[in-house]
Structure 1
Amino acid sequence: MSFLGQRSSRKLFIAAVSALTILIAGCGSSSTGDSSSNASSSGSGAGGAQVSAAKADMAAYAGKASAFPVGTPLTKRVPAGSTLAYLQCAAPTCALAGKAVAGAAQALGLNYHPVQSGSSSTDVTAAMNSIIALNPKIVIIPGLNPGPFCTQLKQLTSMGVGVGTFGVVGAQACGVEASMNGETSQKLGGRLMADWVVANKGAEAKVALYVSPELSFSANVQTGFTTQMKELCASCSVRIVKIPLASYASTAPSMMVSDLQRNADTNTMVFDNQEGAIGLPSALRTAGLSDRVKEIGWGPEPANLSDIKSGQITAGVGVDVPTMIWMAVDAAIRIATGQPLAGEETQGVPPTQVLQQSDITFDPTNGFAPYPDFAQRFIKLWGAP
């Protein structure tokens, strides 16, 4: 595929598209603050922390990425020359993700038709109406709030169009069956971070969970984390601390350091979106806090992966974004041709891994891509030349 042909192009694509979930911005508070809670389950093991259970739950995602998500070949393909429409939002990362969708369309012999959209709800709705007018066989939607165009999504699915989404929260309520990296995947990320905390800190865990409520996936990651912490540790404390999205790459690290200074017993930092931790290592060093805390976050970007590799950040839960995008295309084809979703498509969970320093054996500037042959794997399943 042309978008993977040159190393520099592939590197730019993966690094940029790894931030795609940031586009899923809903309405929420941008103020700082915190709330505290203690886990309430009975627990077991030393100090009430279920360390063995945490390690067992995390095992399938530790040391290597979870299995490639699809292994069932297509029994029927969408006719060559059919239209695959892509809702291309206004953000640059949508255009980069579109290159991945275009590569899949090319492999399938489909006519790739990106439909540009502005940033307002009115613009997105108009773009969706334009997509419906194309009479497509396949429609792919990136990480946008589906509320403004839920009616159009339901119309497309009622027409028998295969609709696939990635990073969209609430797609299933709009009739979309093929929702990749939606609620289930996001809650899994939170759950795995809780597993890691208990496995590493046991009942001594004193957690600050830094969240950005403006991001619509934040609530799912938070729910996955806090639910699992309550299940695994009766004595662990979890504080919820809001970090405004606008503070990323600017004041967020100093805000976190100030929070740690006010809460001297905190020994673990958890991030609903690890991008918020970019710049944190230097802030911790300056404050003399580097040795006091361990850190883990969902969706590490190349800068975070570099910090993990150098030992400046402890861990992250990586999601394979390139594979995720082609999963959405594969799932949409299966829906359009009356075939059941395959493998992890039924849950919408892309390859995922708990990443620690020893796991970063790849160039972190390329992003987390545990299956660099993902395109060839899908092409084989599709019976494409």
Structure 2
Amino acid sequence: MHARTKRAAPAALLAAGALLLTSCSSDGGTTTDGDETTDESAVAAAEEFLVPWNGEGDKTLLIDEPLEAPVAEGTHVVYLDVGTPVSAVMWGNLQAPAELLGLELERVEVGRDAQSVNSAMNSVVEIAPDGVINITLDPVFFESQIEQLDELGIPLVSGSVMNTVEYGLPEAFNGPDWMRANGEALGAAAIARSGGATEFVFYNIPEFPFSPYELEGAESKIAELCSECTLRTVDIPIAELGSTAADRVVSDLQANPQTEYFISAVDEVQLGLPAKLDLAGIEIQGIGMWTPPPNYEQISAGDQDATLSVDLNLMMWTVLDQLLREMGGQDYEWPDAGTSASSLTRVTDASNVPEDPVVGYVAIPDYQDQFAANWLVD
């Protein structure tokens, strides 16, 4: 059954963001037990939908064909670091493939405001690498530098960026449709893991361009499965990740004690949250996405309910693989969004939490060998 607050706290500071009331539709029957309501058919439908996200079955690389030529040793690749904990994890995940290929890998911190991004991207143009990897940074902040890189023949590939094609960049494998699909998984997981709760909240990160698409997917799936559900939306600024995001969540839940389960666009919102919820006397659980190691540790300790794991190693090897093909002028095609999404993501809880939180979820055990073969590495 879903958890309730221990006590109804007085209204406190309302978290920033609009409150969105979403009406849902479902044909399932509802049973009432005391003050808790469980829609058994909605839970069953949610669990059925989540089967592709259970991490089972054989999976393949999203692009499973060899390069036309080996990668030259010393090829210079720049990584744009947006300064979040997950961005740091992804930088770390690039080290192994860079060593395998003999790349010269350089990290450029881009900052979190327009001036910092502009300055950093100007330096990237001056560096003139062979290729650039961007994770989450919206191209709207460096449109002029995109044109300059294009003139220099320097490809830029992206991860978790929603508008690459609009700015003349290669299509990211995890674009809007990929994010909507995982948002649907988050919505279904919220219903299934709460035992049929009806009052939800989504913690949105406005600065992340993928966050609204996760929200869109969660809204649509909850609406499809549940006739009595409401879903509020609360914005949390990116600057609060790793600092005061948990405090903002506690304040919101205190002000809205009817909330039964939460969804967060990024799991960093939950860092340090369990202890603060306990201190506030709140017993509400939730699920997020983009899981850094501390979240896996919270799940292992029984302090966090679940996460929608992304195989961040596989993601970064895949983004690098795309860059290699762009640098070589080689054609490729992504599979459909549903296949791509469920190939890299899985619902993770205490029953299947990774033993090594740094390594995290591994979707394809021999992915390194498969990439090495495709990259013509001896």
The aligned residue for residue 27 of structure 2 is 44
User: Whole-Å Cα distance in 1 between the matches of residues 82 and 185 of structure 2?
Assistant: 32
User: Whole-Å Cα distance in 1 between the matches of residues 371 and 143 of structure 2?
Assistant: 29
The aligned residue for residue 59 of structure 1 is 51
Cα displacement (A) at 1:251? 4.1
Q: Establish whether residue 223 from structure 1 lines up as the match of residue 216 from structure 2.
A: yes
- For residues 322-341 of structure 1, the C-alpha deviation after alignment (integer angstroms, 9 at most, x for no partner) is 21111012123334333223
The aligned residue for residue 320 of structure 2 is 329
Q: Do the aligned residues in 1 keep the contact of 2:202 with 2:231 (CA within 8 Å)?
A: yes
Structure 1 counterpart of 2:208, one-letter code? L
Gaps of at least 5 residues in structure 1 are 1-29
Q: Do the aligned residues in 1 keep the contact of 2:93 with 2:313 (CA within 8 Å)?
A: yes
The aligned residue for residue 10 of structure 2 is none
The aligned residue for residue 149 of structure 1 is 142
Counterpart of 1:304 in 2: which secondary structure? Answer: helix
The aligned residue for residue 302 of structure 1 is 293
Structure 2 counterpart of 1:383, one-letter code? L
Q: Do the aligned residues in 1 keep the contact of 2:311 with 2:344 (CA within 8 Å)?
A: yes
The aligned residue for residue 124 of structure 1 is 120
State the aligned residue count. Answer: 349
Q: Establish whether residue 191 from structure 1 lines up as the match of residue 174 from structure 2.
A: no
After superposition, the Cα gap between the structure-2 partners of 1:69 and 1:357, relative to the gap in structure 1 and judged at 3 Å, is same
User: Whole-Å Cα distance in 1 between the matches of residues 199 and 15 of structure 2?
Assistant: 23
Counterpart of 1:214 in 2: which secondary structure? Answer: coil
Match of 1:282 among 263, 267, 275: 275
The aligned residue for residue 256 of structure 2 is 263
After superposition, the Cα gap between the structure-2 partners of 1:384 and 1:248, relative to the gap in structure 1 and judged at 3 Å, is closer
Cα displacement (A) at 1:373? 4.2
Structure 2 counterpart of 1:306, one-letter code? E
Cα displacement (A) at 1:35? 0.9
Cα displacement (A) at 1:76? 0.9
Structure 1 counterpart of 2:52, one-letter code? A
State, as a whole percentage, how many aligned pairs show the same letter: 25
Match of 2:97 among 104, 110, 125: 104
* Pairing 1:227-242 to 2, within 5 Å after superposition: 227-242=220-235
- For residues 302-333 of structure 1, the C-alpha deviation after alignment (integer angstroms, 9 at most, x for no partner) is 22112212222111101111211110121233
User: Whole-Å Cα distance in 2 between the matches of residues 297 and 90 of structure 1?
Assistant: 20
- For residues 318-367 of structure 1, the C-alpha deviation after alignment (integer angstroms, 9 at most, x for no partner) is 11112111101212333433322354799864611111110114233543
Gaps of at least 5 residues in structure 2 are 1-13, 31-38
User: Whole-Å Cα distance in 2 between the matches of residues 321 and 182 of structure 1?
Assistant: 15
User: Whole-Å Cα distance in 2 between the matches of residues 357 and 99 of structure 1?
Assistant: 25
Structure 1 counterpart of 2:324, one-letter code? I
Structure 2 counterpart of 1:318, one-letter code? S
Structure 2 counterpart of 1:121, one-letter code? V
Cα displacement (A) at 1:149? 2.9
Q: Do the aligned residues in 1 keep the contact of 2:15 with 2:248 (CA within 8 Å)?
A: no
TM-score by length of 1: 0.76
Q: Do the aligned residues in 1 keep the contact of 2:63 with 2:332 (CA within 8 Å)?
A: no
Match of 2:305 among 300, 308, 314: 314
Match of 2:331 among 327, 339, 348: 339
Counterpart of 2:346 in 1: which secondary structure? Answer: strand
TM-score by length of 2: 0.78
After superposition, the Cα gap between the structure-2 partners of 1:346 and 1:160, relative to the gap in structure 1 and judged at 3 Å, is farther
- For residues 55-104 of structure 1, the C-alpha deviation after alignment (integer angstroms, 9 at most, x for no partner) is 23211111548834336221512553583432444748767745644543
After superposition, the Cα gap between the structure-2 partners of 1:360 and 1:312, relative to the gap in structure 1 and judged at 3 Å, is same
User: Whole-Å Cα distance in 2 between the matches of residues 34 and 172 of structure 1?
Assistant: 29
Moved more, 311-320 or 90-99: 90-99
Counterpart of 2:246 in 1: which secondary structure? Answer: helix
Q: Do the aligned residues in 2 keep the contact of 1:139 with 1:162 (CA within 8 Å)?
A: yes
Match of 2:19 among 35, 38, 42: 35
Name the one with the larger helix percent. 1
Q: Do the aligned residues in 1 keep the contact of 2:267 with 2:295 (CA within 8 Å)?
A: yes
